[in-house]
């Protein structure tokens, strides 16, 4: 129940810049997800917020208090570690009770809270076991119970659902989200799984190589990616990125085997480009296949059925292929040439050198 | 696909298993036989009134154990009661175990958890230290004790020997403890910090219970070393009152041409009892090694 603010925070390990100049403000009771590829500094961020690592540069605030030099025990954060980090010599019960015992709560209250948390996470039948006797998913839920039971001001979750089966994961997602809203705990959540990020978060922070790429609501990040990295990272199958050259005099993009006409209103936005190398971005689900007046023609390479949709891989020329999503049942014999429409209102244009979104 | 000949595979598996059992017997059981025979002989002799042909015990008696309740005179020499010497041995061994556990525990934690310049050099150096047997240091230690005024000072000298003994055991102990601390992931210690522990509480409630087997091992080795110490005490202690049992037993053998084998056997058996007790107490701890609770460590 506090506002967490990172002010130009960096963490270097020798020459490795694990986190590089990150500024972020997480509102009271907000659910923010850190999303990014392996090694981009997500865990390091959480450990700095928890107070385990001291930032190399920058300050961290809880509400308006500077907590940069406050030890972890005085921050009242709950954390689920990526490795679970259960205490191997304690039973599940003792593990969950541990933060409460440190706080010296009365025994009866501890007992009530532990059983409540265990029940919520469906581990109440495992209370007498040692962590070594649990499956990965069960251990993960014990770690979650231990983080929740102390009713922290800030909840830090490092991939807390990665080891659960699909069904349990959906249940836990909903349960976690409900609990978080109910208790209004400020939550910072780390995941690789963009579906999880999309469905749970108020806002998403997309990171790469220690730097923040974009901060926004799931919708914003999906609809208006601020650069090529975000565009390619969010969405499955990922956005098609087609390398083109810009012909300013005619205001068209010269792409492999087709030309894409741009509206004159875009001229101004494109004038900030660093070179004529531009990248045309369009999501597979926005491409229309087999239309009357196509923007481009392409040859069908592969058709992969995916339940209610099919994913079609198409070749624009020898080197460039793109993916499109069509409704199941669409007749598309491989090898056949088909017409594509790329709707103007759905395309993105990125700077080929800097990767920045221009449109 | 050709059908596999399972009967041949089965035969091979059976042969391998038989071979494994044979190897285990050859390595573990065969060498144990003479050792057990020796112990059995020791026990038998300690309770027998006469030994024929030097090994075959005859008749039952408790007379060999008379050193427990009376002084012994043999030839010209008189041996005082064994109990003060027992206390000396216990003092030496327990003291050594205590010092070694404390220092090795702290040193091991530092070597495992803290970054400081010259850490790996220091670890190599520590291992090299362990290569010196105490006999090599005898003369140097003699000079040192003399300069410190600890030579031939009874209780003080015994304490001095304890410190020397501990110093000899600490390098290996620190090395063992480092291994135990290494096996605890950082995440577990961090989790304790996040859960509200100070650095010290985290150490006491989470780290310490996990390295207890290490402490048991180190304490056991140190205790055994202190209990079995002979050459240092024999050289430095001049006052018979402060001798430990090892010297007492040496005197039983060394003093006269005539040796009372029954008495010697009983005394030796008595000498072995505390080590067995100490081992039995620490063994349960030694085997209590925890696994699991952390991804990747199972
Ligand atoms: N203690 C450390 N010493 C040196 N480098 C480190 C240390 N901890 C992390 N790093 C480096 O910092 C970078 C970020 O690591 P971090 O653990 O934060 O990544 P992550 O985003 O959590 O990745 P993953 O999704 O795989 O868990 C990595 O390049 C990593 O190698
Ligand atoms: Mg991580």
Can you tell me the ipTM of this complex? 0.88
- Establish whether residue A18 lines the binding site of ligand 1, counting it when its CB lies within 6 angstroms of any ligand atom: yes
CB of A245 within 8 Å of a chain B CB? The answer is: no
pLDDT in tens, A201-246: 999 999 999 999 999 999 999 999 999 999 999 988 899 999 999 9
d(CA A12, nearest CA chain B) in Å: 16
pLDDT in tens, B110-163: 888 888 888 888 888 877 877 777 778 888 888 888 888 878 778 888 888 899
Assess whether A242 and A157 both reside in one domain: no
Predicted pLDDT at B94: 94
Residue B168: pLDDT over 90: no
List of chain A residues whose C-beta atoms are within 8 Å of the C-beta of residue B193: 51-52, 71-73
Task: Report the DSSP beta bridge partners of residue A247.
Answer: A252
Find, in chain A, the residue whose alpha carbon is nearest to that of B197.
Answer: A73
Pairing of strands A296-306, B56-60: unpaired
d(CA B270, nearest CA chain A) in Å: 37
Assess whether A26 and A143 both reside in one domain: yes
Which CATH number covers residue A262?
2.40.50.140
Find, in chain B, the residue whose alpha carbon is nearest to that of A80.
Answer: B191
Assess whether A167 and A251 both reside in one domain: no
For A81-95, what is the mean pLDDT?
A: 93
pTM: 0.82
Question: DSSP character for B206?
Answer: I
Task: Report the DSSP beta bridge partners of residue A254.
Answer: A245, A259
pLDDT in tens, B221-273: 899 999 988 888 888 888 888 888 888 888 877 655 667 777 888 888 888 88
Assess whether A258 and A338 both reside in one domain: yes
Predicted pLDDT at B291: 59
Assess whether A53 and A149 both reside in one domain: yes
Of the listed ranges A224-228, B9-13, B61-65, the least confidently predicted one is B61-65
CB of B201 within 8 Å of a chain A CB? The answer is: yes
Please name the residue whose Cα sits nearest to atom 5 of ligand 1. Answer: A13
Give the whole-angstrom CA distance, residue A149 versus residue A118.
Answer: 9
Boundary of a domain, candidates A208, A231, A254: A231
A99·B196 Cβ contact <8 A: yes
Give the whole-angstrom CA distance, residue A48 versus residue A60.
Answer: 8
Residue A297: pLDDT over 70: yes
Other C-beta atoms lying within 10 Å of the C-beta of residue A194: 19
d(CA B210, nearest CA chain A) in Å: 7
Which of A13, A36, A45, A213 is the best mutation target for the ligand 1 pocket, counting ligand atoms within 8 Å of the beta carbon and taking the most? A13
Query: DSSP E strands: which ranges in B75-196?
Result: 77-79
Let me know if residue A296 belongs to a domain. Answer: yes
Let me know if residue A343 belongs to a domain. Answer: yes
Let me know if residue A17 belongs to a domain. Answer: yes
Question: DSSP character for A234?
Answer: S
pLDDT in tens, B175-222: 899 989 998 999 999 999 999 999 889 989 999 999 988 898 899 889
**Which ligand 1 atom is nearest residue A46's CA?**
18
Assess whether A276 and A164 both reside in one domain: no
How many structural domains is chain A composed of?
2
Assess whether A223 and A255 both reside in one domain: no
Which range marks the domain in which residue A221 is found?
4-231
Assess whether A66 and A41 both reside in one domain: yes
CB of A73 within 8 Å of a chain B CB? The answer is: yes
Please name the residue whose Cα sits nearest to atom 25 of ligand 1. Answer: A38
Assess whether A279 and A173 both reside in one domain: no
Residue A100: pLDDT over 50: yes
For A165-172, what is the mean pLDDT?
A: 87
CB of A88 within 8 Å of a chain B CB? The answer is: yes
Which of A10, A14, A18, A80 is the best mutation target for the ligand 1 pocket, counting ligand atoms within 8 Å of the beta carbon and taking the most? A18
- Give me B10's structure tokens: 């089965």
- Give me A322's structure tokens: 């793109």
Residue B228: CA atoms inside 13 Å, Cβ hemisphere, count? 11
List of chain B residues whose C-beta atoms are within 8 Å of the C-beta of residue A163: 295
Assess whether A293 and A249 both reside in one domain: yes
pLDDT category of residue B297 using cuts at 50, 70 and 90:
very low
Assess whether A184 and A127 both reside in one domain: yes
List of chain A residues whose C-beta atoms are within 8 Å of the C-beta of residue B210: 88-89
Q: Indicate which of B196, B197, B205, B211 best probes the interface with A, i.e. most A CBs within 10 Å of its own CB.
A: B196
Tell me the three state secondary structure of residue B19.
Answer: helix
- Give the whole-number percent of chain A exceeding pLDDT 70: 100
Q: How far apart are the first and last CA of chain B?
A: 38
Q: Which ligand is nearest to the CA of A14?
A: 1
Please name the residue whose Cα sits nearest to atom 30 of ligand 1. Answer: A39
Q: Indicate which of A89, A97, A126 best probes the interface with B, i.e. most B CBs within 10 Å of its own CB.
A: A89
d(CA B297, nearest CA chain A) in Å: 9
Q: Which domains does chain B have, with CATH numbers?
A: 2-65 (no CATH), 77-296 (1.10.3720.10)
Let me know if residue A12 belongs to a domain. Answer: yes
For A285-305, what is the mean pLDDT?
A: 88
- Establish whether residue A82 lines the binding site of ligand 1, counting it when its CB lies within 6 angstroms of any ligand atom: yes
CB of A78 within 8 Å of a chain B CB? The answer is: yes
Residue A191: pLDDT over 70: yes
B295·A98 Cβ contact <8 A: no
Please name the residue whose Cα sits nearest to atom 27 of ligand 1. Answer: A38
Let me know if residue A359 belongs to a domain. Answer: no
pLDDT category of residue B52 using cuts at 50, 70 and 90:
low
Give the whole-angstrom CA distance, residue A263 versus residue B159.
Answer: 94
Which CATH number covers residue A92?
3.40.50.300
Residue with the larger pLDDT of the pair A166 and B3: A166
pLDDT in tens, B28-49: 888 888 888 888 888 887 887 7
Let me know if residue A219 belongs to a domain. Answer: yes
Boundary of a domain, candidates A202, A231, A260: A231
Predicted pLDDT at B54: 60
Boundary of a domain, candidates A231, A248, A279: A231
Give the whole-angstrom CA distance, residue A146 versus residue A142.
Answer: 6
Tell me the three state secondary structure of residue A313.
Answer: strand
Residue A126: pLDDT over 90: yes
Assess whether A195 and A98 both reside in one domain: yes
Please name the residue whose Cα sits nearest to atom 24 of ligand 1. Answer: A38
Let me know if residue A357 belongs to a domain. Answer: no
CB of B289 within 8 Å of a chain A CB? The answer is: no
CA of A199 to the centre of ligand 1 (A): 26
CB of A217 within 8 Å of a chain B CB? The answer is: no
- Give me B43's structure tokens: 């026990």
List of chain B residues whose C-beta atoms are within 8 Å of the C-beta of residue A87: 188, 191-192, 206, 293
> Cα B79 from chain centroid?
27
Residue B73: pLDDT over 80: no
List of chain A residues whose C-beta atoms are within 8 Å of the C-beta of residue B190: 47, 50, 52, 72, 81, 85
Which of A11, A44, A158 is the best mutation target for the ligand 1 pocket, counting ligand atoms within 8 Å of the beta carbon and taking the most? A44
Residue B295: pLDDT over 70: no
pLDDT in tens, A56-77: 999 999 999 999 999 999 999 9
Pairing of strands A211-216, A203-208: antiparallel
**Mean pLDDT computed over every residue of chain A:** 92
Let me know if residue A358 belongs to a domain. Answer: no
d(CA B208, nearest CA chain A) in Å: 10
CA of A43 to the centre of ligand 2 (A): 4
Closest partner residue to A87 (CB to CB) among B193, B293, B296 is B293
Predicted pLDDT at B298: 38
């Amino acid at each position: 129940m506090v506002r967490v603010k990172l002010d130009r925070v960096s963490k270097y390990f020798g020459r490795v810049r694990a986190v590089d100049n990150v500024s972020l403000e997480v509102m009271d009771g907000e659910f923010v997800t850190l999303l990014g590829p392996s090694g981009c500094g997500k865990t390091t961020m959480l450990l700095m917020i928890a107070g385990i690592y001291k930032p190399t540069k920058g300050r961290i605030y809880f509400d308006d208090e500077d907590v940069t030099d406050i030890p972890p025990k005085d921050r009242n954060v709950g954390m689920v570690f990526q490795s679970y980090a259960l205490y191997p010599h304690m039973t599940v019960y003792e593990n969950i009770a541990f933060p409460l015992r440190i706080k010296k709560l009365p025994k009866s209250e501890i007992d009530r809270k532990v059983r409540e948390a265990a029940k919520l996470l469906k581990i109440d039948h495992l209370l007498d076991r040692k962590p070594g006797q649990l499956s990965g998913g069960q251990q993960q839920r014990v770690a979650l119970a231990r983080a929740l039971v102390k009713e922290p001001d800030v909840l830090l979750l490092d991939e807390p659902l990665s080891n659960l089966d699909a069904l349990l994961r959906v249940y836990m997602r909903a349960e976690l989200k409900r609990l978080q809203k109910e208790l209004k705990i400020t939550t910072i959540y780390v995941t690789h799984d963009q579906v999880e990020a999309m469905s749970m978060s108020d806002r998403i922070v997309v990171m790469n190589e220690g730097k923040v790429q974009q901060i926004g609501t799931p919708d914003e990040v999906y609809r208006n990616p601020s650069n090529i990295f975000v565009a390619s990272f969010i969405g499955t199958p990922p956005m098609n990125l087609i390398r083109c050259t810009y012909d300013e005099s005619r205001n068209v993009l010269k792409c492999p085997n087709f030309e894409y006409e741009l509206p004159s209103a875009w001229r101004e936005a494109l004038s900030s480009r660093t070179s004529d190398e531009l990248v045309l971005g369009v999501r597979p689900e926005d491409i229309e296949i087999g239309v009357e007046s196509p923007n481009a023609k392409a040859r069908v390479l592969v058709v992969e059925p995916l339940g209610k949709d099919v994913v079609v891989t198409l070749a624009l020329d020898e080197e460039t292929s793109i993916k499109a999503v069509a409704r199941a049942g669409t007749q598309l014999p491989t090898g056949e040439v088909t017409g594509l429409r790329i709707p103007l209102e759905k395309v993105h244009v990125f700077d080929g050198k800097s990767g920045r979104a221009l449109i | 696909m050709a059908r596999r000949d399972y009967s041949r595979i089965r035969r091979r598996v059976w042969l391998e298993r038989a071979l494994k059992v044979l190897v285990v017997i050859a390595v573990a059981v065969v060498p144990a036989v003479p050792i057990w025979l020796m112990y059995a002989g020791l026990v038998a002799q300690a309770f027998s009134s006469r030994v024929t042909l030097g090994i075959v015990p005859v008749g039952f008696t408790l007379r060999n154990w008379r050193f427990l309740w009376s002084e012994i005179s043999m030839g010209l020499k008189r041996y005082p009661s064994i109990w003060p010497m027992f206390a000396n041995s216990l003092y030496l061994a327990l003291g050594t175990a205590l010092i070694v556990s404390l220092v090795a525990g702290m040193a091991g934690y530092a070597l495992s958890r803290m970054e400081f310049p010259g850490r790996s050099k220091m670890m190599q150096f520590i291992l090299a230290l362990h290569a010196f047997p105490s006999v090599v240091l005898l003369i140097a230690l003699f000079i040192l004790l003399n300069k410190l005024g600890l030579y031939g000072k009874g209780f003080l000298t015994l304490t001095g020997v304890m410190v020397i003994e501990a110093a000899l055991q600490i390098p290996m102990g620190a090395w063992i403890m480092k291994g135990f601390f290494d096996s605890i992931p950082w995440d577990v210690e961090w989790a304790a910090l996040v859960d509200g522990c100070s650095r010290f509480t985290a150490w006491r409630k989470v780290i310490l219970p996990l390295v207890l087997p290490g402490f048991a091992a180190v304490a056991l080795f140190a205790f055994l070393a202190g209990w079995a110490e002979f050459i240092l005490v024999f050289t430095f202690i001049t006052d018979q009152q402060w001798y430990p049992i090892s010297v007492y037993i040496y005197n039983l053998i060394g003093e006269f041409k005539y040796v009372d084998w029954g008495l010697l056997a009983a005394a030796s058996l008595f000498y072995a009892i505390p080590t067995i007790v100490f081992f039995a107490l620490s063994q349960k701890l030694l085997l209590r090694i925890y696994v699991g609770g952390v991804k990747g460590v199972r």
